[in-house]
Structure 1
Amino acid sequence: MTTSKYSFTIPTSNNGTLNIPLTEGKALFVLGANGVGKSTLMHTLFQQNVNHTKRILAHRQTWFSNNSMNMTASQKKDRERDMKSSDQQIYSRWKDDYSSYRSSISIFDLINSENIRARNIANAVDRDDISLAKGLSNAQAPLQAINELLAISNIPITITLGKDEQLFASKNGSSLYSIAELSDGERNALLICADVLTTEPNQLIILDEPERHLHRSIISPLLSSLFLKRKDCVFVISTHDVFLSIDHSEASVLLLRSSQWNGKNIKDWEADLISESDKIPAEVKKEILGSKRSILFVEGESQSLDRQIYQLLFPSVSVIPQGSCIQVEKAVEGIKGTENLHWINAYGLIDADDRTEEQLQALIERGIVALSCYSVESLYYNLEIVKRVANRYSELTGSDANELYLAATSDIINSIIPHKERLCSRLCEKQVRNSVMSLLPKHKDIDKRGEYEYKINLKEIIEKEEAVFDKIIEENNLNGLISRYPVRETPALTKIATGLGLTREKYESAVRKLIIDDSDTKQYLKNLLNPLTSLIEGEKSSPNKS
């Protein structure tokens, strides 16, 4: 059994010494109101892990005077040594003697990482190691990653590296201008992205109060995406905003209620470690909460494909996976039925699972939309989207768009047919489970004290689905196959991506880039998601009714 190299141990008044697990690929939110000792706790955490930690201060300077490297590598190394020494002092909780250098170092690291990547690719080409060069070029460039992060976070700017190693911005296709001219929030988002993406591997990243300079609609999706980009790191986020932890239900929460002082030092904290942030007590929510919030509950687990595409399509909504459709329905109904949560607009997104039109309409009236597609891959690999990606890559590579599209789609049926039995049974499994759950005995049935019997003809159900499958194949309805069945369990999606000359990861990134760049593509996918789109966007122009 391996021991974590990260340490987070604090004295508490209610739980004794609390050892808080810190695991790479996981996040911890430290949540509490003003005055409970969050800053002191973050300083303690930094001291316990000083040799493998990057600390992003709450009182950081978010402006810089120029858009290029303004120090040498030697000067940068000296400044970083001085900063680490200063950060270990107790006064670093409120004072920063190196604020102007921190933003300059962030820009230095960003430009340097872009240059290192370019040099590594060029060196591989010089050695005639084309395979290595292709592998290095397939890894996302730092600026490309930042531009994707900014777009997902509702910031419509693009960052480019110009001549003389200067960074420029462009907003919605405008002329280039210096990143020094960005707004306060835009600069702060850029600096956070640069700091996290250029952090050394396997580090602890401490981020103090990210909401101080950024609106919740920006920082929440930004954090989600940064967690995915740096799964090799541990994130600890200090915040006042309860919704940041609610938005990231897979993260742990250290809830600080109060602290006990002994002179100028904190003796201990009243603190609880919570593994699921939706269990935060209502009284704490009341103390910290402020504005309204919209939440979209979806089926499934916390997967990047779902969260990122829905976040791009509905930037004003937080996306929270809830497992099964029953759990989605309970989450929506729980919020709508709780007066204390009147600031939240709740929506649900579940699969249709052969529900009747009357059932579908009844769900909509409760704020829950049932879609006909099996999973989010039905959006990514919709053939119209495949065609648009093919068109974009034909422009970049000089290839024929029709030939790329044919290469991507020609083998879909042959990739799926061998998996017919499993695909049909998987689809029927969801239908049967939902049917059984809906027909479980109620308390009135139990009161009768008799026998309760429910029979199901599985042979009839699977044969009916296999007939539907055969008809879709006969009609060569490729979108029907992709939409109805869990085709991610077949080679079909990989064949689509490789037909375009891409990996699946790079194809899915290209789809998100299309949504960012092309409003028609974004609207096309939103139309596929109706009536959910109408339900969410209708709330924008009407009072909250939940």
Structure 2
Amino acid sequence: MRLAAYNTEQGGPMQSSSEDVVQQHLVRLPNGIEITENGPVVIVGPNGSGKSRRSREITSTVHIEVVSALRNTKISPQLQPMALQQAKANFQSQRETARTQPYELTNDFDYMLTALIGEAAESSLEFLRIARSGVMPHLPPLTSLEKIQTLWHDLFPGRELRFRDYMPMVINTVAVGDEPAEYSAWQMSDGEKAALYLAGRTLGADLGAVILVDEPETHFHSLLAVQFWDAIENARPDLRLIYVTHDMTFAASRQAVNYLLANPKEGLTPIELAADSSDLAAILLGTATLSFYATHVIFCEGDSDALDARLYKAWFNTKETVVHAVGSCDMVLRSVSALSSSKLVQNLTVKGITDRDFHSEAHLNSLVAGVLPLKVHEVETLYCLPGVVAAVAKHLGVKFDRPAYEQKVISTFTDGDRHKVVLERWKVLIDAALTGVVSSVSTKTASLQAIAGSIPAIFDQSKWSFSPQALMADEKTKVESLFQSKPLDLDELLKVMPGKQLRGLPAGALGISPKTYDNLLINAIGGEDPKLVELGAELRVALKPYMPF
């Protein structure tokens, strides 16, 4: 806890030189590597990787303060008044306990608040002493307590943090209905208490301090965690903050950051992300943390609870393989490309799976190395394949008429559906072609006025290497021929036609709910239920021809 000294001529706290601050920011890893650049250090790694243990081995040119993950945020309704030096001594004792005994719960919150109040009181008394001596001082610099109150107001609009007679209080200025107009700090939410405690530990720290914060996101909503630590870093740029986290979204939110990867065997290793991969940072960092126990990572579309990830996690159900859902097809392509070309991880095979959607064969054959499309239109189609439904029907003892089911699949697609597919496939082709036309303009060196005058010629279809009309006619022929061929090739049809509208057919044919069907399918493929081993084996046989690998 620091108390700013007054300068009655300049009216501000006395500062150390910038050289002192830079020197204090140096961080040294156990292997001798030194991090001298300003900016936070973020230690990432999965549970059990030794993040907390290894972080305690970091040294610096100054004493490193530790904010333990096991922090007690309980606040007494009434703080015990005590002399400032006694409060600071008690607070220091508890901080040292947190540093030397990181797995013990700390009890420093009350002492910290008491010291902050004492600091503010001493600042006020010093201001009064100077004023009463006949010298009119400038306003004193903001105390740590005032800075915390300002931060609190910004993070929790409508809630003011105040102290009365050593009682921390929250004033609710936007209370409605039965909400209390004010409440004691010991009645705060966990997020409010965490914000108050961490603000006190950082805003009240010595100039140029190095502070290690274990699990900085605890008790915070993900957005609030980012906002809180952004505010702390902006308010105290002199601090070197070392974050220990397994929250990749938070890790990726830090700016001008030095990343360290915690490895149970190799300790802490610096890692760098490509300059153009900032929006992939959370994905890349998360994948890097998995490399300790996985040898294969497979990126797929959707989120972790979507049909894609659930099915692929069951299909690639080995200890060495991790399935990571990253959203769109574009994110799959970029994630595989970025990770394959980076030095972030070694001895890790990176692959990706995407839906075919409405893309042409030429496009699908030119995907990023390691990314392959399904052999059906989309993942929903896999759940509706006749062979898959037949295997489940056999397991349930339900009579299944496969030819009738296949005919129902075909008849589900109406003329309107075919029309829409033709347009969607044409749109994908024409988007790519027109992008090439527009991109050609950027290579021209003429004046903007001259380029503007040439636009009609640029968009003269007679000069294009493609015909929008011919492309649409080709796609119409391709789609219509699929339905007119004799015999009809259902596999080829299901590459082109969407599978989402088929989703209700399997459950209807089997007389069960769609949710029951999905869960049965995934559990059987995962192979962990002894009662479903035979079904799982038959499902794998039925699905294998349609999986990319």
Tell which structure's C-alpha radius of gyration is larger.
2
- Name the TM tier (shorter chain): 0.3 to 0.5
TM-score, normalised to structure 1's length? Answer: 0.46
Kindly indicate which of the two structures has a greater share of residues assigned to helix.
1
